[in-house]
């Protein structure tokens, strides 16, 4: 049984603006164009829920079956290891911290209410950053 919720976000901090790289904005615009074309081809069967990633007729994706299958197929096609979709969030946060993005900025992107949560989950990256700090100090 699937349950969909439309309405208010989990918390006040869940509603936030995010900045996207231009490459992502371009890809989303292309996706939107293809989606409009598909909507025209589908005609009256299209369910207009104003979703970014709907199923074939505009309705909700059945996340427990369709989306994971598509995601895992994509990973296989590009020779990446098996992972869960949510692992991408973890990877992005770890990468951002490892390249020197401030923990407070990563906290805001992830929507954590406290930086301690961010560092508690992704704190393993911080020791890697210590060597970078020492190298920078040596370079001064």
Q: Strands, E, within 1-140: which ranges?
A: none
Tell me the three state secondary structure of residue 123. Answer: coil
pLDDT higher than threshold 50 for residue 47: yes
Can you tell me which residue has the tokens 């979703």? 51
DSSP state, 8?
A: S
**Percent of all residues in the chain with a pLDDT value above 90, rounded to a whole number:** 30
pLDDT value, residue 80 = 92
> Residue 52 — very low, low, confident or very high, per pLDDT cuts 50/70/90?
confident
pLDDT digits (tens, 9 = 90+) for 87-119: 888 888 988 888 888 989 999 888 888 899 888
For the question of whether the overall pTM of this predicted structure is more than 0.85, the answer is no
**Percent of all residues in the chain with a pLDDT value above 70, rounded to a whole number:** 91
pLDDT value, residue 53 = 85
Contacts of 46 (CB under 8 A, 6+ apart): 39, 57, 58
């Amino acid at each position: 049984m699937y349950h969909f919720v439309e309405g208010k976000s989990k918390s006040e901090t869940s509603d936030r603006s995010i900045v996207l790289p231009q490459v992502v904005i371009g890809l989303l615009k292309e996706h939107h164009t293809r989606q409009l074309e598909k909507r025209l081809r589908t005609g009256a069967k299209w369910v207009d829920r104003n979703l970014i990633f709907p199923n074939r007729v505009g309705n909700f994706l059945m996340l427990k079956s369709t989306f994971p299958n598509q995601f895992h197929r994509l990973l296989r096609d590009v020779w990446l290891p098996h992972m869960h979709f949510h692992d991408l969030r973890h990877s992005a946060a770890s990468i951002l911290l490892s390249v020197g993005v401030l923990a407070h900025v990563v906290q805001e992107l992830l929507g954590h209410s406290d930086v301690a949560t961010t560092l508690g989950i992704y704190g393993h990256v911080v020791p890697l950053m210590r060597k970078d700090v020492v190298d920078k100090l040596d370079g001064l």
